[in-house]
Amino acid sequence: MSNTLQPGPLPASMQLDDNGKLRHFLTIEGLSATLLTEILDVAESFSVVATQPVKKVPLLRGKTIFNLFFEPSTRTRTTFELAAKRLSADVMNMNISTSATSKGESLLDTLRNLEAMYSDMFVVRHADSGAAQLIARHVAPHVSVINAGDGRHAHPTQAMLDVFTIRRHKPDLTALRVAIVGDILHSRVARSQIHALNTLNTGEVRVIAPKTLLPENVEQLGVQVYHSMAQGLKDVDVVIMLRLQRERMTGALLPSEHEFFRLYGLDEAALAYAKPDAIVMHPGPANRGVEIASSVADGPRSVILEQVSNGLAIRMAVMSMCLGATGGGKG
């Protein structure tokens, strides 16, 4: 697959089984508010598992889950692995750099071999947009696929853990103003966040960035666009900072990181534009002094570490729902 692969339209039916229950989790697009709310509610029930003496439930005992990470991400892979283990599943982490795909074997041939090992789920992270969707179209009927991030396209579990974190602090999403700040252009997280927030009828979703870091026609995603922190952060309830994704940038999109922080970094002065009880989020990893000051990242309004903890509950919820162990919902 090339870096120019783009995912085609994805009907909701591709992510749901014949009963309307979740089979794959590839993107937020096309899923209903009812189903997203159910994911949040199931995650809420799993959030107490971490506080128990035995941090396991037997829902996925006997199931085999493969983490297929074609792109490095220690934090995301670790949380998926831990979530699967807390559901009592057997987990295999594939080192793709030494797998058959690096020896000339095709991706789909590799999948067939893994399916022959009686796999039940693939958690896929790939640098190409649409990779998880391609895999989902070719897996056996009993296998589920979760997208752990594909190119610039989507990162649905990250978006859901972010919404879960917001809902825990500010339950009425319809009354909220949420600002997403930074490298919107290269961020699969931002796209998934925008779709999730709008599907759940969040009051207002804003993006704040220089024009060079915004996709064309970004307004069509249902956001208000700002190029000034003073205007964009005015009276917002939630501030979500994004990292600069230098590895995806081509050309001179920014004058310098220092200049970016001066104009779009979140320090105490910029945060003062938001509501006094606004919370600060970051999907990580954070570039301190580039998009966020340490005083804010570690400050009393930061919920960044809560996002990490909440990722376990969300991923447990999605895994269990996809494998029919709990929940489900009409799309």
Give the CA distances from residue 96 to residues 69, 70, 83, 167, 280, in Å, rounded to whole numbers and listed in that order.
Answer: 7, 6, 21, 36, 35
* pLDDT value of position 110: 81
* pLDDT value of position 8: 54
* pLDDT value of position 106: 75
> Is 155 annotated as catalytic?
yes
> Is 75 annotated as catalytic?
yes
* pLDDT value of position 329: 38
> Is 191 annotated as catalytic?
no
Task: Report the b/e string of 3-32 with b at 16+ CB within 10 A.
Answer: eebebeebeeeebbbeebbbbbbbbbbbbe
For the stretch 255-272, pLDDT in tens is 678 888 999 999 999 999
Domains of the chain: 12-155+309-322 (3.40.50.1370), 156-303 (3.40.50.1370)
- Among 75, 112, 142, 262, the active-site one is 75
- Among 21, 24, 152, 155, the active-site one is 155
- Among 21, 23, 27, 76, the active-site one is 76
What helix, strand, coil percent values describe the chain, rounded to 5? 40, 15, 45
> Is 330 annotated as catalytic?
no
> Is 103 annotated as catalytic?
yes
Q: Given the structure tokens 């297929």, which residue do they identify?
A: 68
* pLDDT value of position 6: 47
* pLDDT value of position 72: 79
Both ends of the chain: CA-CA distance in Å?
30
- Among 125, 152, 243, 282, the active-site one is 125
- Among 74, 103, 174, 211, the active-site one is 103
* pLDDT value of position 1: 38
* pLDDT value of position 2: 36
Name the pTM for this structure.
0.91
Point out which residues pair with 331 in neighbouring strands: none
Residue type, 75: R
* pLDDT value of position 92: 94
Give the CA distances from residue 315 to residues 31, 159, 183, 214, in Å, rounded to whole numbers and listed in that order.
Answer: 17, 11, 25, 29
Q: What is the mean pLDDT of each run of 10 residues along the chain (331 residues)?
A: 47 88 96 97 93 91 94 88 97 74 68 90 92 92 95 95 98 98 94 98 97 93 97 98 68 70 96 98 92 97 96 98 68 36
* pLDDT value of position 253: 56
* pLDDT value of position 327: 40
Backbone φ/ψ region at 182: left (φ over 0), alpha (ψ -120 to 50), beta: left
